Amino acid sequence: MATCALTCADAKKIDLVDYLASLGYHPQKVSHPDYWFLSPFRDEKTASFKVNRKLNVFYDHGIGNGGDLIDFGTRFYNCSVSEFLNRLAGQLNQNSLSFHPPTQASKTEFRPTVRDTFSAGKKRENPDGKIIIMGDRPIASNPLLEYLKKRCIPLEIADRFCREIDFLLYGKKYTVIGFKNNAGGYELRSENFKGSSSPKDITFVDNRTDDVAVFEGFFSFLSFCTINKNLTAPLSNCLVLNSLSFFEKSRPLMEKYKQVHLILDRDTAGIKHTRQALEWNIDKYIDRSDFYKNRKDLNDWLVHHQQGQRQSLRPGRHF
């Protein structure tokens, strides 16, 4: 049977959650209207790919990008729009998909990174999908202390860079660990929550050295500090991207230093960006992921080596 003609407008009416299911991807968590998936673009253990089913759009926190079904399909299959529409038409002819128009809303209303809202120091009403930061204090709640213990991060190290944050989302209060970025926003984490408040930005820790270590997420950075906690010499300057979408944008900052130590995740996206930097300048950029080559990231390495292998973390074993 010949495939039917399919327009972009038609494609955008196809339910994105149903489409992902047809590819074998199912949500790990649902908090209406948000459906959280393990990203189809890389291997990961914590769902960071969000679909807002009401607006029928997605946002991948790992790459800092999102869009509609066409944006997803062209990236997923690495093809043109017309090639994806032809593929999609074939799936429709096989009755494997159905049209499910979202409720009417402007695409710009979707805020992929949930946000806080402040004006002149006063908090506004809490609109759906926006984070409102209510307050911060030193980390003290038992669930967060247990979470740090599970991630093998000593409290004295977490206290140097993180705060305990209360925020509201969809009218519900959450308490999480917050890691502040250069623009004043927070990366927010707990055992059951992963998100960020606006504005999204990098975090730079200036230790006044001539090199810089680059991390994808702040738990890898905290792991780096943990592994080197007994080191007497100053640590490298540290750049925490908080999203790989800031990697190329941070190149001018990285280029200021004699050496750039890349401590990115060992998933598809992290390896791709590491290779990209090595192509920029193999003498300046150094891939340090061999240190944790059998693990997803530095924190994963730390967790699996903490128990029974404390000698691996003795002074002198550092980057």
pLDDT digits (tens, 9 = 90+) for 83-127: 888 888 877 765 445 555 444 333 333 333 333 333 333 334 444
**All domains in the chain, ordered by first residue:** 8-109 (3.90.580.10), 118-196 (no CATH), 203-313 (3.40.1360.10)
Across the strands, what pairs with 286? 261
CB contact set of 121 (below 8 Å; sequence gap of 6+): none
| Residue 61 pLDDT class (50, 70, 90 cuts) | confident
| Residue 314 pLDDT class (50, 70, 90 cuts) | very low
| Residue 307 pLDDT class (50, 70, 90 cuts) | low
Share of the chain above pLDDT 70, in %: 82
| Residue 319 pLDDT class (50, 70, 90 cuts) | low
Q: Residue 5: pLDDT above 70? A: no
* Lowest-confidence pick of 26-30, 160-164, 217-221: 26-30
- What's residue 100's pLDDT? 52
DSSP state of 199: S
- What's residue 120's pLDDT? 31
- More confident call, 59 vs 120: 59
State the pTM of this model.
0.62
Q: Residue 2: pLDDT above 60? A: no
The mean predicted confidence, pLDDT, of the chain is 81
Q: Distances from the Cα of 3 to the Cαs of 13, 20, 122, 212, in angstroms?
A: 18, 21, 56, 53
- Please tell me the distance from the alpha carbon of residue 26 to that of residue 23, in angstroms, as a whole number: 9
- What's residue 233's pLDDT? 75
Mean pLDDT of 57-70: 87
* Lowest-confidence pick of 77-81, 151-155, 163-167: 77-81
- What's residue 49's pLDDT? 92
Share of the chain above pLDDT 90, in %: 43
Q: Residue 229: pLDDT above 50? A: yes
- More confident call, 92 vs 252: 252
> Looking at the chain, how many residues does it have?
319
Phi and psi at residue 260, to the nearest 5°: -125, 115
Please answer whether residues 286 and 262 qualify as being in contact, where contact means their C-beta atoms are separated by less than 8 angstroms. yes
- What's residue 179's pLDDT? 96
Mean pLDDT of 143-163: 95
Q: Cis (ω within 30 of 0) for the bond into 315?
A: no
- What's residue 43's pLDDT? 74
| Residue 301 pLDDT class (50, 70, 90 cuts) | very high
Mean pLDDT of 255-263: 95
Tokens encoding 121? 């120091």
- Taking only the tens place, the pLDDT of each residue in 24-55 is 788 888 888 889 998 888 877 788 999 998 89
